[in-house]
Structure 1
Amino acid sequence: MHYRVTADTDNGTVKATNQDSICVFHADSVRGEIVMAIVCDGMGGLAKGELASATVIRAFEKWFHDELKHELYQLDMRVIANKWELLLKELNLKIMEYGKQYRVNLGTTFTGMLIVGSAYFAVHIGDTRLYHIDRDIVQLTEDHTVVAQKIKRGEITPDQAESDLHRNVLTQCVGASNKIVPQVLFGNADQGVYMICSDGFRHKISEQEIRNAFQKDLLSEQDAMHAQAKRMISLVKQREEHDNISVILICAE
């Protein structure tokens, strides 16, 4: 399997700072191509959301540079995923302690994916999302939100959730939850496009628009991927999205 990757982030139309943090690494290895992609959507007053998301991203960048090479000798994706979970739990405590010390509330979502060769896992907390796009668009992660719980219980429909007052209320996030229970997914990469995005990217556009924009045959080169991502971000801003906007695209073929 071969991959092309692009990433974009934008303040949006209102916010002076970008509390989203993203990272992407794409490298060759003895195990095949490696892609690590993460989107964190920070929450908190002033620059505190940015601090939370950036703290998590820096920790995973350090893990990639310092630890991944050792994991490749006896590759076990479930072991690595477990280490990601443990790292997130450590970061949760670290950010919570900072918040208590300075009497501020801050936290961040986390949706991260590691691909090695054709195998992948994803670890997820919050309402950033991982999708797979081919003939259809499929949301692979589950939102950790109040409205997602209401939908599961049959109290509201997905359409009603779009206008629900609790749409953005998270049930867990890194740094603001006493206990986090990440969703962990394992699989083999399928042809098509994997997309990780913050909620600011998807609120003003439909899944059908996303599917049409990110069909694999429209993303034959990295420049084309970047242009399509920029076009969709511009569309989101034209529709007056107030949140920060982030998207990572991984084209697999």
Structure 2
Amino acid sequence: MVLAAVCDGLGGMDAGEIASGYVAERLSIWFYEDLPDLLEKKRSKKALENALLRVFYDVHERLVAYGEERKLRLGTTLSMLLIVDGRYYLFHIGDSAVYLLGRIGKKITKEHSISGNVLQKCIGIGAYKRPDQKRGRIRKKDVFLLATDGIWRALTEEEWGQILGKKKSLNGKKAEKILRDIAAKQIRLGKADNMSAIYLRGE
């Protein structure tokens, strides 16, 4: 089982870290405490998805309340994959992204922003908006990239497929070096965005 997520906080440095950190904390608690019980009871795929949607709704409402009490505007994007029994469950809201490379080679999430800089959806700000969802079976050659916009905007969809999806010899350490080099180049170019990424390869 794997739960992987990237979050890009909004509302200034401190507020953004509070929002993204809280989402990560709640997902970790759900993964280690609630998911095993759901699997033991052999709940359906839909039940797993609904359980996570309840977490997202609760997190959103708590962040909104926290912000209102302190007169803060804080929120976060979220792109998340849950992998269980050879299937992936994708949840996505905001302008981070998930790519399915290798066999398919394309971005499988939609960017929830206008002109690349005005967010239409996120967790923690405004009315609750349900994350986009996808699910599917993982194939042997599947490669997933989860990345904040500070990383994924650095290359085209085709370029991501070439450097991470097409190389059979690529392992986790090599992929990490590629991603670190891309982040370093973005920093040298003066980019100040969050640069987080996760590389996952189907076995």
* Shared fold (TM-score, shorter chain, > 0.5): yes
Residue in structure 2 matched with residue 141 of structure 1 by the alignment: 109
The answer to whether residue 121 in structure 2 is matched with residue 172 in structure 1 is yes
Partner Cα separation in structure 2 for residue 79 and residue 54 of structure 1? 25
Of residues 150, 160, 163 in structure 2, which corresponds to 1:200? Answer: 150
- 1:49–1:106 contact (8 Å) kept in structure 2: yes
Paired residue type of 1:247: A
Output the amino acid matched with 2:160.
I
Structure 1 residue 135 displacement after superposition: 5.5
Aligned partner of residue 22 in structure 2, secondary structure: helix
Question: Counterparts of 1:239 and 1:135 in 2: how far apart (Å)?
Answer: 32
Q: In structure 1, give the amino acid aligned to 2:176.
A: H
Residues 145-199 of structure 1, C-alpha deviations (whole Å, 9 max, x = no match): 22xxxxxxxxxxxxxxxxxxx4211111110021212111111113221111001
Distance 1:55 1:219, change over 3 A: farther
Superposition RMSD on alpha carbons, in Å? 1.7
When residues 99 and 196 of structure 1 are mapped into structure 2, their CA distance, relative to the original with a 3 A threshold, is same
1:60 alignment partner in structure 2: 27
Alignment partner for residue 184 of structure 2, among 234, 238, 241?
234
| Number of the residue aligned with 1:69 | 36
Structure 1: 5+ residue runs without aligned partners?
A: 1-33, 147-165
Trace 1:151-170 onto structure 2 (pairs within 5 A). Answer: 166-170=115-119
Rounded Cα–Cα distance in structure 1 between residues aligned with 2:24 and 2:169: 27
**Cα deviation, residue 219, structure 1:** 5.1
Q: Does 1:117 align with 2:85?
A: yes
- Give structure 2 stretches of 5+ with no counterpart: none
For 2:50 and 2:117, the matched residues in 1 are separated by 28
Offset, 1:136: 5.1
Secondary structure (helix, strand or coil) at the match of 1:204 reads coil
Seen in structure 2, the aligned counterparts of structure 1 residues 228 and 218 have a Cα distance that, compared at 3 Å, is: farther
Does the aligned pair in 2 maintain the 1:93–1:175 contact within 8 Å? yes
Count of matched residue positions in the alignment of Structure 1 and Structure 2: 201
| Structure 2 CA distance for partners of 1:40 and 1:118, relative to 1, 3 Å | same
Residue 162 of structure 2 is matched in structure 1 by 212
Match of 1:246 among 174, 178, 196: 196
State how far apart, in whole Å, the 1-side matches of 2:202 and 2:13 are. Answer: 38
Rounded to whole Å, the distance in 1 between the matches of 2:25 and 2:4 is 13
Match of 2:130 in 1: 181
Within the candidate set 84, 97, 119, 2:52 is matched to: 84
Kindly provide the amino acid, as one letter, of the partner of residue 90 in structure 1.
Answer: D
TM-score, structure 2 length as denominator? Answer: 0.91
Identity value in percent: 27
8 Å Cα contact 1:125/1:174 also seen in 2: yes
> Which of 117, 127, 135 in structure 1 is aligned with 2:95?
127
What is the alpha-carbon distance in structure 2 between the residues aligned to residue 40 and residue 107 of structure 1? 10
Provide TM-score, normalisation by structure 1: 0.74
What is the CA deviation profile of residues 81-115 of structure 1, one whole-angstrom value per residue up to 9, with x for unaligned ones?
A: 11111111111110000110000111001111111
Name segments (4+ residues, structure 1) moved above 4 Å: none
Query: Which of the numbers 22, 43, 51 marks the counterpart of 2:10?
Result: 43
What are the Cα deviations for residues 207-234 of structure 1, in whole angstroms up to 9, with x where unaligned?
2332222135355433222222222222
